[in-house]
């Protein structure tokens, strides 16, 4: 006797469909699973055996072979339990399921037959839908998340018995199969709103002065450029960066699905019932984080902070406090916009298209160059050099805007303060221009420009090009820095509503390379 069910697992953050084939034949009663299972799947047999018995059915006393296909894929996790159990019951003639829908089954089973939620359901159901499935049967705790994929029938249950309660025995015959003609009784109706913007309590209006920093933050948000704020303690660096989410453009439907899938795969979707994530992620890991925590890892690789920040912001407060080796692993995702994690049997790729926002003091004591009356800087040049060298050149190269945040002066008495709404309006307009310009290129941001597209959309007139070349030579900047200045100039021109990049735009872009400059003003 042969039967087939469909389940799914997570591969990185993508869902993959798995065929669960069951063959029951005469022979010694033994059960085997084939198809590269990991230990969790071997344990699945024992869970399923107990679950079936505890629901009043019998586990076949025959030779039972379960094949998980495709065979060459390393399967992980416990999401196949439900499909294995129902596959065995149907193949052994104890159960008949309705055949009117192409049904996916996901769920881990406990020994008593109750079902436990699994991570990554969003990606699995999304894949199933694209492969023509129309329905999914899964644990109730996963139902709200699954229902984020539209036009799928979601059938949810806490316990196998709820499924069996829908069935009828055809005859008085004890050996007749339990026939379930419809799953409608398990239908899950989602009550989530189509997604809502989080209420923003913080506003840039709270920040007095620091106009040039707000300008730099506006540019960063408009083109998704990396930014670093440098200044003495208490000048508002953390405060300024924390407000960045209030001026970012909303996520597109596609972006919302992408980020929600990552959170789902990481098991970090707190309230799936609230709909897809609608606000861009803002991640601020503590400086004690490990390299694995930052880029992802584990035997079953899970996305790290750089992927959780995908389409949003990764905020590294007090950058030099982070372990240097940890910071170095940022270089690859910053360049490739994704993270690659190699395992013996598989290579996982997680998206990591984020804006890096960082803050740091200018020196270990924090007061260098701040002419603070009560706090003269006490650091030796060697200590300052050591402190700054924690942030390597290649990392600094990738930070487009390096901005000084000085101590407050007269402006603290100012009445006027640019609000988040003002800044956001500028960002949205500049972003619109980018979306229109890059429509055919499937990208949305100037920071994503590369290769021929970069040359094509950042053409400079001869005089401006000349000025830029001279600056690059004088500051000894890299080719990467050169490209990044071009992209930043593109964004500044977009904020200015100009299709052509002018020399003033390039000049502004260059002056944001603060730390790259020869440090002639270093104290002696
Ligand atoms: N420009 C400003 N306008 C209004 N309040 C400010 C400003 N700058 C600082 N503050 C106040 O000072 C507090 C400290 O600011 P914040 O923590 O952002 O400083 P910081 O630059 O990150 O300092 P550190 O280097 O010590 O981390 C803020 O919570 C805010 O109350
Ligand atoms: Mg701070
Ligand atoms: Zn100092």
CATH of the domain at 296: 3.40.50.300
For ligand 3, the distance from its centroid to the CA atom of residue 361, given in whole angstroms, is 9
Atom 18 in ligand 1: residue holding the nearest Cα: 236
Residue 411: pLDDT band (50, 70, 90) is: low
pLDDT digits (tens, 9 = 90+) for 14-28: 899 999 999 999 988
Residues 464 and 493 in one domain: yes
Residue 196: pLDDT band (50, 70, 90) is: very low
Residues 226 and 148 in one domain: no
The number of distinct structural domains making up the chain is 2
Q: Is residue 193 part of a domain?
A: no
Range ranked top by mean pLDDT from 273-277, 296-300, 365-369, 412-416: 365-369
H or E element that contains 299: none
Residues 178 and 280 in one domain: no
For residue 209, the ligand closest to its alpha carbon is 1
Tell me what pLDDT residue 198 has. Answer: 52
| Strand residues in 304-351 grouped as ranges (E) | 313-316, 338-342, 347-351
Of 125, 157, 186, the residue at which a domain comes to its end is 186
Q: Is residue 392 part of a domain?
A: yes
pLDDT digits (tens, 9 = 90+) for 25-55: 998 888 888 875 667 667 888 899 999 999 9
Residues 372 and 443 in one domain: yes
Distances in whole angstroms, Cα of residue 294 to Cα of each of 62, 245, 325, 408: 49, 20, 11, 34
Residue 479: pLDDT band (50, 70, 90) is: confident
The set of protein residues with a Cβ atom below 6 angstroms from ligand 1 is 207-210, 231, 233-239, 359, 361, 408
DSSP at 411: G
> Tokens standing for 376?
């003269």
Note if the bond before 203 is cis, omega within 30 degrees: no
In sequence order, which residues have a C-beta less than 8 Å from that of residue 204 and are 6 or more positions away?
A: 214, 240, 243, 246, 247, 417, 418, 419, 420, 422, 423
CATH of the domain at 88: 3.30.230.10
Tell me what pLDDT residue 514 has. Answer: 74
User: How many CA atoms lie within 13 Å of 197's alpha carbon, on the beta-carbon side?
Assistant: 11
First to last CA, the chain: 86
Q: Is residue 56 part of a domain?
A: yes
Residues 128 and 245 in one domain: no
For ligand 3, the distance from its centroid to the CA atom of residue 389, given in whole angstroms, is 15
Residues 275 and 156 in one domain: no
Question: Once rounded to an integer, what is the mean pLDDT over residues 316-334?
Answer: 91
For ligand 3, the distance from its centroid to the CA atom of residue 523, given in whole angstroms, is 10
Atom 27 in ligand 1: residue holding the nearest Cα: 233
Of 135, 153, 186, the residue at which a domain comes to its end is 186
**Which atom of ligand 1 lies nearest, measured to the CA of 206?**
4
pLDDT digits (tens, 9 = 90+) for 140-170: 989 988 988 888 999 999 999 999 999 887 7
Q: Is residue 449 part of a domain?
A: yes
Query: 160 near 51, Cβ under 8 Å?
Result: yes
Q: Is residue 517 part of a domain?
A: no
Distances in whole angstroms, Cα of residue 315 to Cα of each of 100, 244, 518: 50, 10, 26
For ligand 1, the distance from its centroid to the CA atom of residue 228, given in whole angstroms, is 15
Q: Is residue 480 part of a domain?
A: yes
Residues 179 and 297 in one domain: no
Atom 14 in ligand 1: residue holding the nearest Cα: 234
Q: Is residue 198 part of a domain?
A: no
Domain extent, residue 255, equals: 204-511
pLDDT digits (tens, 9 = 90+) for 420-433: 999 999 999 999 99
- Give strand pairing partners of 136: 104, 154
DSSP at 35: S
Residue 73: pLDDT band (50, 70, 90) is: confident
For residue 234, the ligand closest to its alpha carbon is 1
Tell me what pLDDT residue 324 has. Answer: 87
Tell me what pLDDT residue 112 has. Answer: 93
Q: Which of 33-42, 285-294, 327-336, 489-498 has the lowest mean pLDDT?
A: 33-42
Residue 521: pLDDT band (50, 70, 90) is: very low
Q: Is residue 524 part of a domain?
A: no
Residues 13 and 118 in one domain: yes
Task: Tell me the backbone φ, ψ of residue 96, rounded to 5 degrees.
Answer: -125, 120
Atom 8 in ligand 1: residue holding the nearest Cα: 236
Q: Which residue has the tokens 């290129």?
A: 441
Residue 64: pLDDT band (50, 70, 90) is: very high
Question: Would you tell me the crossing angle of helices 503-511 and 462-475 to the nearest 10 degrees?
Answer: 20
Of 152, 186, 220, the residue at which a domain comes to its end is 186
Strands of the sheet with 168-169, listed across from one edge: 95-96, 178-179, 168-169
For ligand 2, the distance from its centroid to the CA atom of residue 419, given in whole angstroms, is 21
* More confident: 248 or 200: 248
**Dihedral of alpha carbons 205, 206, 211, 214, sign:** negative
For ligand 2, the distance from its centroid to the CA atom of residue 234, given in whole angstroms, is 7
Atom 24 in ligand 1: residue holding the nearest Cα: 233
Separation of alpha carbons 524 and 381, rounded Å: 7
Tell me what pLDDT residue 278 has. Answer: 85
Tell me what pLDDT residue 522 has. Answer: 42
Tell me what pLDDT residue 351 has. Answer: 94
Tell me what pLDDT residue 523 has. Answer: 37
For residue 363, the ligand closest to its alpha carbon is 3
Residues 224 and 269 in one domain: yes
For ligand 3, the distance from its centroid to the CA atom of residue 436, given in whole angstroms, is 47
Query: 119 near 298, Cβ under 8 Å?
Result: no
Range ranked top by mean pLDDT from 87-91, 252-256, 298-302, 368-372: 87-91
Q: What would the DSSP string read from start to end of 230-295?
A: E-STTSSHHHHHHTGGGGSPPPPHHHHHHHHHHHHHTT--S-GGG-S--SPPEE---TT--HHHHH
> What's the count of helices (H) and strands (E) in the chain, helices before strands?
19, 21
Atom 26 in ligand 1: residue holding the nearest Cα: 233
Q: What is the mean pLDDT of the chain?
A: 87
Tell me what pLDDT residue 524 has. Answer: 32
Pocket mutation for ligand 1, best pick of 209, 236, 361 (most atoms within 8 Å of C-beta): 236
In sequence order, which residues have a C-beta less than 8 Å from that of residue 187 and are 6 or more positions away?
A: 153, 154, 155
For ligand 3, the distance from its centroid to the CA atom of residue 364, given in whole angstroms, is 5
**Which atom of ligand 1 lies nearest, measured to the CA of 237?**
21
Tell me what pLDDT residue 36 has. Answer: 57
Atom 12 in ligand 1: residue holding the nearest Cα: 234
Residues 120 and 70 in one domain: yes
Residues 162 and 229 in one domain: no
For residue 380, the ligand closest to its alpha carbon is 3
**Which atom of ligand 1 lies nearest, measured to the CA of 229?**
21
DSSP at 375: -
Tell me what pLDDT residue 192 has. Answer: 54
Q: How many CB atoms lie within 10 A of CB 482?
A: 13
User: Comparing C-alpha atoms, which of 370, 369, 284, 266 is closest to residue 321?
Assistant: 284
* 3-state helix/strand/coil string of 140-172: HHHHHHHCCCCCCEEEEECEHHHHHCCCEECCC
Residue 434 has pLDDT above 50, yes or no: yes
Atom 16 in ligand 1: residue holding the nearest Cα: 236
Residue 195 has pLDDT above 60, yes or no: no
Residue 392 has pLDDT above 90, yes or no: no
For ligand 3, the distance from its centroid to the CA atom of residue 367, given in whole angstroms, is 5
Percent of the chain predicted with pLDDT > 90: 54
Residues 257 and 136 in one domain: no
Residue 277: pLDDT band (50, 70, 90) is: confident
Distance of CA 54 to the CA centre of its chain: 40
H or E element that contains 226: none
Separation of alpha carbons 161 and 151, rounded Å: 26
């Amino acid at each position: 006797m042969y039967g087939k069910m469909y389940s799914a697992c997570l591969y990185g953050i993508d869902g993959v469909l798995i065929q669960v084939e069951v063959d029951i034949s005469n022979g010694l009663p033994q059960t085997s699973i084939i198809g590269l299972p990991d230990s969790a799947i071997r344990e699945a047999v024992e869970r399923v055996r107990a679950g079936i018995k505890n629901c009043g059915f019998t586990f076949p006393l025959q030779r039972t072979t379960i094949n998980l296909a495709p065979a060459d894929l390393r399967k992980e996790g416990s999401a196949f339990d439900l499909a294995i159990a129902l596959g065995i019951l149907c193949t052994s003639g104890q159960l008949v399921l309705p055949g009117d829908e192409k049904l996916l089954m996901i769920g881990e089973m406990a020994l008593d037959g109750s079902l436990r939620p699994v991570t990554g359901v969003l990606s699995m159901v999304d894949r199933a839908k694209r492969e023509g499935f129309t329905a999914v049967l899964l644990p109730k705790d996963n139902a709200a998340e699954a229902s984020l994929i539209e036009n799928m029938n979601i059938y949810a249950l806490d316990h196998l018995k709820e499924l069996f309660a829908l069935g009828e025995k055809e005859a008085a015959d004890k050996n007749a199969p339990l026939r379930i003609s419809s799953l409608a009784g398990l239908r899950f109706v989602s009550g989530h709103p189509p997604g809502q913007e989080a209420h923003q309590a913080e506003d840039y209006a709270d920040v007095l002065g620091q106009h040039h920093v707000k300008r730099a933050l506006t540019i960063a948000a408009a083109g998704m450029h990396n930014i670093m704020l440098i200044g003495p303690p208490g000048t508002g660096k953390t405060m300024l960066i924390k407000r960045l989410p209030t001026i970012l453009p909303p996520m597109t439907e596609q972006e919302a699905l992408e980020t929600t899938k990552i959170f789902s795969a990481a098991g970090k979707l707190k309230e799936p019932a609230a709909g897809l994530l609608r606000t861009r992620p803002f991640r601020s890991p503590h400086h004690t984080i490990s390299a694995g925590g930052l880029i992802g890892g584990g035997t079953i690789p899970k996305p790290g902070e750089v992927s959780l920040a995908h389409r949003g912001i990764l905020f590294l407060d007090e950058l030099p406090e982070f372990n240097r080796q940890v910071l170095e692993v940022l270089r690859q995702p910053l360049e490739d916009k994704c993270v690659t994690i190699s395992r013996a049997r598989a290579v996982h790729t997680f998206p990591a298209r984020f804006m890096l926002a960082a803050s740091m003091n200018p020196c270990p004591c924090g007061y260098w160059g701040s002419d603070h009356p009560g706090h003269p800087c006490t650091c030796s040049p060697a200590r300052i050099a050591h402190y700054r060298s924690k942030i390597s050149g290649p990392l600094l190269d990738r930070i487009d805007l390096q901005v000084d945040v000085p101590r407050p002066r007269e402006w603290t008495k100012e009445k006027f303060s640019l609000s988040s709404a003002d800044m956001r309006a500028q960002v949205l307009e500049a972003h619109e221009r980018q979306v229109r310009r890059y429509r055919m290129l499937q990208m949305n941001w100037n920071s994503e420009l590369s290769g021929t597209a970069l040359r094509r959309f950042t053409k400079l007139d001869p005089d401006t090009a000349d000025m830029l070349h001279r600056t690059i030579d004088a500051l000894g900047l890299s080719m990467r820095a050169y490209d990044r200045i071009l992209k930043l100039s593109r964004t500044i021109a977009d904020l200015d509503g100009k299709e052509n990049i002018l020399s003033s735009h390039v000049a502004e872009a260059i002056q944001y390379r603060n730390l790259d400059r020869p440090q002639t003003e270093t104290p002696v």
